Amino acid sequence: MKPALERIARKQVDKLWLQKASDSAESMIKSDSEATIDKRVDRLFHNLRSIYAHCTQLTDSILPISGRGNATDAIRQLESFLLSEPSKAALLIFKLNKQIIALGTELTIYNMLNGANLELDFCDISIYSMVRNVASGFFAELNEKKNYINIDNSYVKAHFDFQTIEVALYYIIENAVKYVLPNSKIHVSFESTMDWEIVRFRMTSLYVDSSEVDRIFEEGYSGIESMKGGLHGKGLGMFQARHLTEMNGGTLTFVAGKHIKSRRDGLRYAENVVVVKLPKDEDED
């Protein structure tokens, strides 16, 4: 073969190989993307089914199936339950409220993970009211663990998107309730500075080593003590909470305390603080 023709042939071969490699890479990327979407859809439906099951179970506790056929009898039965067992009824309502918040959380996270462009609607909102409303969904769990959450009063407003910060607070409080020392308190305080409205969650909770302070915000990471006690989840909560807070121009940090207490099961606890900073009310001087 002549040199000129050989060069042309080599170029054609190289071109074909490059095209094949490009097509293969594109196919792999598409395959990975489709697999990721499928995984997220599976996760969403799994969690929605779980929420539905919880809601059904709670509804059955309030109103047995046998009493639903006749509306009048069902109403009387519900009235009787509310009057005869008000404490139990209140706890069931709090549990239902948590599932409602969880439903909104799942839908928001799915939209974000699925690449949807979340339209943030920034408003001046009472951060105290937001914390109180989200925390109320966990009252039943706090009661079962003999924990108490003390939320200081605050009348200031911060500038953020309601939907995404509600989800961030849900994850923060969920983690606090899960890891707080039983029979202890969670104290929520507020502070205003020139630029920020600051929320602090102080509690005696699972010890976090200094080497883990940043890692607990990594996707998929679970702390050493939580793994030891079998309390860990999928390592998504604090990762999502920080991401959503930063989307609102805020910050989320964890201040780890020194080990102060150990339980008989070997778990170590410390005085820890979760700090949320959100931009101030735009109209505030």
Over residues 192-199, mean pLDDT: 94
Tens-digit pLDDT profile for residues 42-74: 666 666 666 666 666 666 666 655 555 566 776
* Cα→Cα distances 150→57, 132, 137, 167, 280, Å: 29, 10, 15, 20, 23
pTM, rounded to two decimals: 0.71
CA 186 vs. chain centroid, Å, equals 18
Is pLDDT larger for residue 91 or for residue 140? 140
Over residues 217-227, mean pLDDT: 80
Is 189 a residue whose pLDDT tops 90? yes
Is 37 a residue whose pLDDT tops 70? no
Asked if 127 and 156 count as a contact pair (C-beta separation under 8 A), the reply is yes
Is 241 a residue whose pLDDT tops 80? yes
Q: Which of 218, 215, 191, 193 is nearest to 202 (CA)?
A: 191
